Structure 1
Amino acid sequence: MTDLAVDDRGLLLTVGADVPVNVLFDDQRVFSFWLERDTQPEGERRRYPWPPALHSFLDGAVDVALADPVDGAVWLSTAARLGSGVGPVRVQDGHGNPLALDKSLRLTRLFGDRDPEQMVPLLDTIEVVLSALEAAGVEPFVAYGTLLGAVRDQDFIGHDSDADLGYVSRFEHPADVVRESFALQRRLREMGFPVHRYSGLGLKVVAREADGSPRGLDVFGGFVHDDVLYLMGEVGHPFRREWLYPRSTVVLAGRELPAPAEPDHLLEAMYGPTWRTPDPAYKFTTPRSTQRRLSGWFRGMRVGIDERWARRRAGLDSAGRITPSGFVRWVREQEPEAATFVDVGCGEGTDTNWLSRGGGRVVGLDFFGPDLRKGGGRAERKGLSTEFAWANLNELRSVLAVGAWLAREPGPRSVLAHHVVDAVDRTGLTNLLRLARTVTRDSGRCYLQFQTVATPYSRDAGLDPVPAERVAEAVRARGGRVEQCLDLTEEQAGVPGAVAGTDPTLCRMVVSWSR
C-alpha cells in the first residue's frame, strides 16, 4: 500500500497485500475493511466506496488515515474535503458520542468507545441471563465475540457492539432440539423475561438494565449430530462433546463467566485457525452445506427476513398512505365477481381493508408482523371482516401451507401484489408466482404492479425495478399465461408526487393459469 486518495465516492489506494485495515477519521476508528477482498479495481488502483450508513456524515473537512488493527500504527494518511468541505466531519450521535460501523456495517456505539463503568450494566445483564438460562434447564456459556474477547483479551472486543451466549442441547435429533428450545422460551417468559425468537434455535432474551433501559442478548442453541457441532449462527464443525462440557470459566472485564470446557476448539470452529489475530472486518464464510442444514432444520419460516426487507415493505405503506391505490381500484374493476381477494405484501392493509368494504372474502398476507397487527386493528375498529395472515415468500414451506389454505376458499379467487415483484429477489418472485398459481388456478387471475424503471419513488421505497419481459419469462416458466401487460407512468397509476408527461415507468400485468 503506497498511496491513498479520498473523495466523495470513497477511498482510492494502491494495494500490495490483502490484509485488514482500520479507517480513522481524525484519530477516531470509524470502520474496517480488507484491502483486496472488499475493494474493486479502478485503473491501476483499487476503490473502496463509502458505506451507505456514513453518507449523511460525509460533509466537511477530515484527516483520513489507514491503521494497523493490531498495534494501531498509521500506514497512510491524507487530508480530505468531502461534500461542501465546510466545517469538520464528525461521526457522532446527537449527544456527541462517537459512532462507528460494526462488522455488519451498521452504525452504532462500539464497546471500545465506552468507559469501563458504562459496561457494568451489560455485565450485570449477562450474569442475570446466564443464571436464568441455567435455571431453565440448559448449561449456557459466553459465545462468539464475547467468548473471543474473554479468551484473547479478558475484555470485550473494542470493535464489537453486542454480547452473545450459547448452549448445546443434550438431544441429538433436530426436532427434539427445537422442542427443547420452545420449552426454554416458555420457561424464560414465566420468569418474567421478554423473549423474541429468531428461528427454531435462536432467541433474544431482553433484560432491564439498572436505568430501566432494555438490553437484548442473543442466545444461540446448538447440538452435536454425527460428531459435528451445529451451533446457530454459523457453526457446523467436527467436534467432541468433551470440548464443551463440563464447562470451564473465563474472565470478561473482571467477571468470571462460564465457557466451554476447551474454548480454543469452539473459537477455531467459529473464526478459523487465525482467531487469535484481531480482524475487525471479519466475515463469516459458512459453507453452503452448513447454511442449508441450519436453515432446513431451524431457520424455518424466517429465511430471507432482514431489516432491509422490513424497511422496504413497510416504507411503501407506513409513510402515511390512507387512501387506496389506483392499482387496487383497477383490480376491483377487473374482478367484480370475485368471491375471494388475496393481497400479497399487504403492508398495513390500506388496500386490503378497502377491498373488504366491497364485500366478499379478503385476506392480506405479509411477513412484517407490526404491519399485520396495524391492519387487523384498523379492520376491527371499522367493523370489517378482513383477515390478515403471516406469509414469507422466501420460505417454500410458508408458501405451500398458505397456498393450500387459500385454494379452498370460495371462488373465483384473485391474487394481487402491489410492488412485491420489485421488492423480492428471484426466489421471492418464483414463490409469489407459485402461490398465485395455487390460489387462482382455474379460479381467477393474478394482478401484478411493479416498477420497470428507477424513479425517485422507487428509490425512496427501496424498490429494484424489474423488466416486464423478465417477469413474463418467470410466469411462463411456472406454466402461466400473461393475459395483459400495461405500461404506465406513475401519474397514471396515482403515485404520490408523480410528474406528469414522463415516460412509462410501471407495469400492470394480468396472469392466469389453467389445467
Structure 2
Amino acid sequence: MTVAELRVATIDPGGVAIDSARPAVVDVLFDGEWVWSFQAERDTRKVLRRTVHHYAPWPECLLPYLHGTGHVTVRERSSERTLFDGDYAFDSSDARVRIADGQGRALIVDKAGELQCAFAERGQATVDALLDAVEDVLARLTGAGVDAFLAYGGLLGAVRDGAFIPHDSDADVAYLSTHNAPVDVARESFALERVMIEAGYWTWRFSAADFKVIVPDPEGGRAIDVFAGFVVEDVFYLLPEVASETFRTDMILPLGEVELHGRYITAPADPEALLEITYGPHWRIPDPSFKFEAPQWVRHRLTGWLRGNNGNHDHWWSFYFGQSNETVPIEPSPFARWVNDREPLGSAIVDIGTGTGRDALWFARQDRDVLGLDYIPAATERAGNIARAEELPARFRTLNLYDIRQVLALGADLAHQSETPVLYGRFLIHALEDAGRLNLWRIANMSLRRGGKFYLEFRTGLDENAEHEFGEHFRRYLEPDAVIAEIEASGGQIEHCEAGHGLAVYKQEDPHVCRLVATWKR
C-alpha cells in the first residue's frame, strides 16, 4: 500500500514513523480525538525509508479497529506541532475507522497498552459512583487496621487539577504496611481482599500484594486497584513498580486529605513528595505516554517475593475489555449441546474458563444451575449482568488457576456441595500454562470424588499451523495422550475420547480438537 506522507511523519497499516527521535512525546488522534501517545526514543525502532526513521508499531489492541479509512493526526505534544494530518486508507474497506466501544464511546490506549473508556468520556454518575467506592474502600481498609490513602493517577489528578486525569480510566489506593517481611505483607493483602469480598465486592488479584476491586457503575463498571506499600532493608516498595531509597515515613503519615471532584479524600501527608517518588521530578507535566521503568533489581525482587501467578493476563484482559462482546458468537457451542445431551436434566454445571458466558448462559436457559468461572472480571461481570437481567439460575465469579489459594478454596467448596457438579472446560486447557493445567486437575480431584464428570474440549497439535479466527496468541497445542497421562497421574480415569475435525466449526475455521470425558472416583 502506498505510504501517505506529510511533513515529518508517515503512517502505514503497521504503525507510525517519524523522521527524528527528538520529539519526546508524540500524540496520535483519530477524527481529532486523542487515542494514543508514545515516546519517540523509547517506543520506536529504527527503519530505513530513504532516510532513517523511527517506527512505532500500532498497539495490538488497536489493530482490530484499523479497517477502512480514518482521519489521522500525529503531533508533537510539547509544541503541538503537527507532523501528519489527513485521511489514510488502512485497507480497501469502505468503512470509516472509529475507535469506540459498542455504546459509541471513544476508547483510548492506556499506560498498560489496553483499550479503555477514559474519564473524559464518562458521565458524572460514573465519576460519582467511583468516588463513592473509593471512599468506601479506603474506609474499609482503614477499619481493617492499615493506613490507606489515594495513590497513583487519582492522587496525581487531585494534586494537579482537583479531578481525575481525563485520559485515565480507574482509581488507585494504597496502604503503608507495618510489616517488613514480604510473606507477612502478602498475608495481610489476602486478609484485606477478604474484607472487600465480605463487603460484596468482586476482586481480581494481580500479585500477592495487590488486587483489584470491581465497582459496578451506570456505564459498565470501573475498578479500584489496592496496592501494598512496605519497607524492606531501608527500601520503600509500592506495588506494582515503585521503589525508593529516599523514602521517609512522614511522606505518608500522619495521613492528610486532597480535594478530588469537590470531595476530600484521604491522602498521604506530603502528596507531592510521594508523587515525585512515583513519577519522577517532572510529575507535574501531563504525559499520557508515561510508563513505569523500574530497575531490574526492583523487578527481580518484587517478582521473587510476590508475583508469578498471572499467566497470559495481558491478552485476556484486553480481549474482554475490547470487542469480544461483538466478535464472539452468542449461540451455544456444539460442545455445549453435546454435553447437555449426555447429562441428566437438572445436573449442575461448573463452567471453568467461561469467557463471555455463551455456553454457561445457555446451560442456565436449559434450567440447569450454573457457576461460571473466568480469569478476567470483565468477562464474569458481563455474563453476570445478562444472567440477572434474564433471571437465570447462573452465577459468575473470577478464578485464577495460577493462584493455589483460590484453587484449593474452589475445590473444597465444590467437594462439600450437596450434589456433585459436572465440570465443563471448553477451549480451556490449551489456553493454560502447565501450572494452571495441573491446578485444574487438582480441582477435579478434590470435587469429583463422589461422582460427576469433567468434560473437556481442546485444540490438538494438528491445529497448530492452521489459521485461527481470533488470531494468534498464547495457545498450548496439546496431544491427547499427554493430557490423558496427566489426568490419570492425578487420579482420574478416561470414559470417552475422540479427536478430529468437524467438532468445533466456526465460520471458516474447522480446528482439530479432542473431546475427553474424565471421572475421579474413589
Deviations 1:122-179 (A, max 9, x none): 4796489548845964655331112223445665434323343444356774445654
CA, structure 1 residues 250+392, in 2 after alignment: closer, same or farther (shift >3 Å)?
A: closer
| 1:23-422 pair list within 5 angstroms | 23-25=28-30, 27-35=32-40, 37-39=42-44, 46=55, 48-49=57-58, 51-53=60-62, 55-56=64-65, 58-65=67-74, 67-77=75-85, 80-84=88-92, 91=99, 99-111=107-119, 122=127, 126=131, 129-130=134-135, 133-134=138-139, 137=143, 140-152=148-160, 156-168=164-176, 173-174=184-185, 175-176=187-188, 178-179=190-191, 182-183=194-195, 195-199=201-205, 202=211, 204=213, 216=222, 218=224, 220-226=226-232, 227=234, 229=236, 231=238, 233-235=240-242, 237=244, 239-250=247-258, 258-272=266-280, 275-285=283-293, 287-291=299-303, 293-295=305-307, 306=317, 308=319, 319-321=330-332, 325=336, 328=339, 344-345=352-353, 347=357, 348-349=359-360, 366-367=373-374, 369=380, 391-403=399-411, 417-422=425-430
Deviations 1:267-325 (A, max 9, x none): 244335554554312233561432454458xx999988846369999999971328764
CA, structure 1 residues 429+35, in 2 after alignment: closer, same or farther (shift >3 Å)?
A: farther
CA, structure 1 residues 79+437, in 2 after alignment: closer, same or farther (shift >3 Å)?
A: same
CA, structure 1 residues 312+405, in 2 after alignment: closer, same or farther (shift >3 Å)?
A: farther
CA, structure 1 residues 265+113, in 2 after alignment: closer, same or farther (shift >3 Å)?
A: same
Which position in structure 2 is the counterpart of 1:467?
A: 477
CA, structure 1 residues 482+14, in 2 after alignment: closer, same or farther (shift >3 Å)?
A: farther
- In 2, distance between residues paired with 1:132 and 1:446? 38
CA, structure 1 residues 309+291, in 2 after alignment: closer, same or farther (shift >3 Å)?
A: farther
8 Å CA contact retained: 1:102, 1:160: yes
CA, structure 1 residues 89+342, in 2 after alignment: closer, same or farther (shift >3 Å)?
A: closer
What amino acid does structure 2 have at the position aligned with 1:32? S
- In 1, distance between residues paired with 2:248 and 2:370? 50
Which position in structure 2 is the counterpart of 1:505?
A: 512
**Mapped pair 1:5 → 2:14:** no
Q: Which residue of 22, 27, 49 corresponds with 2:27?
A: 22
CA, structure 1 residues 55+275, in 2 after alignment: closer, same or farther (shift >3 Å)?
A: same
CA, structure 1 residues 372+438, in 2 after alignment: closer, same or farther (shift >3 Å)?
A: farther
Q: 1:204: Cα distance to partner?
A: 4.0
State the SS of the aligned residue for 1:103: coil
Identity percentage over the alignment?
Answer: 26
Point out where structure 2 has 5 or more consecutive residues left out of the alignment.
1-5
- In 1, distance between residues paired with 2:235 and 2:432? 34
What amino acid does structure 1 have at the position aligned with 2:339? V
What amino acid does structure 2 have at the position aligned with 1:224? F
CA, structure 1 residues 372+28, in 2 after alignment: closer, same or farther (shift >3 Å)?
A: closer
State the SS of the aligned residue for 1:459: coil
8 Å CA contact retained: 2:332, 2:362: no
What amino acid does structure 1 have at the position aligned with 2:35? V
- In 1, distance between residues paired with 2:162 and 2:69? 38
8 Å CA contact retained: 2:210, 2:227: yes
Equivalences, count: 481
- In 2, distance between residues paired with 1:379 and 1:109? 28
State the SS of the aligned residue for 2:170: coil
State the SS of the aligned residue for 1:147: helix
What amino acid does structure 2 have at the position aligned with 1:488? G
What amino acid does structure 1 have at the position aligned with 2:302? T
CA, structure 1 residues 5+260, in 2 after alignment: closer, same or farther (shift >3 Å)?
A: same
CA, structure 1 residues 444+426, in 2 after alignment: closer, same or farther (shift >3 Å)?
A: same
8 Å CA contact retained: 2:177, 2:228: yes
- In 2, distance between residues paired with 1:128 and 1:388? 21
Q: 1:17: Cα distance to partner?
A: 6.2
CA, structure 1 residues 389+270, in 2 after alignment: closer, same or farther (shift >3 Å)?
A: closer
8 Å CA contact retained: 2:254, 2:268: yes
What amino acid does structure 2 have at the position aligned with 1:220? V
What amino acid does structure 1 have at the position aligned with 2:477? P
- In 1, distance between residues paired with 2:112 and 2:434? 24
What amino acid does structure 1 have at the position aligned with 2:330? A
RMSD over aligned CA atoms reads: 5.9
Which position in structure 1 is the counterpart of 2:3?
A: none
CA, structure 1 residues 180+328, in 2 after alignment: closer, same or farther (shift >3 Å)?
A: closer
CA, structure 1 residues 157+73, in 2 after alignment: closer, same or farther (shift >3 Å)?
A: farther
What amino acid does structure 2 have at the position aligned with 1:10? G
State the SS of the aligned residue for 2:38: strand
Normalising by structure 2, report the TM-score.
0.65
8 Å CA contact retained: 1:445, 1:510: yes
CA, structure 1 residues 73+18, in 2 after alignment: closer, same or farther (shift >3 Å)?
A: closer
What amino acid does structure 2 have at the position aligned with 1:70? S
Q: 1:21: Cα distance to partner?
A: 1.8
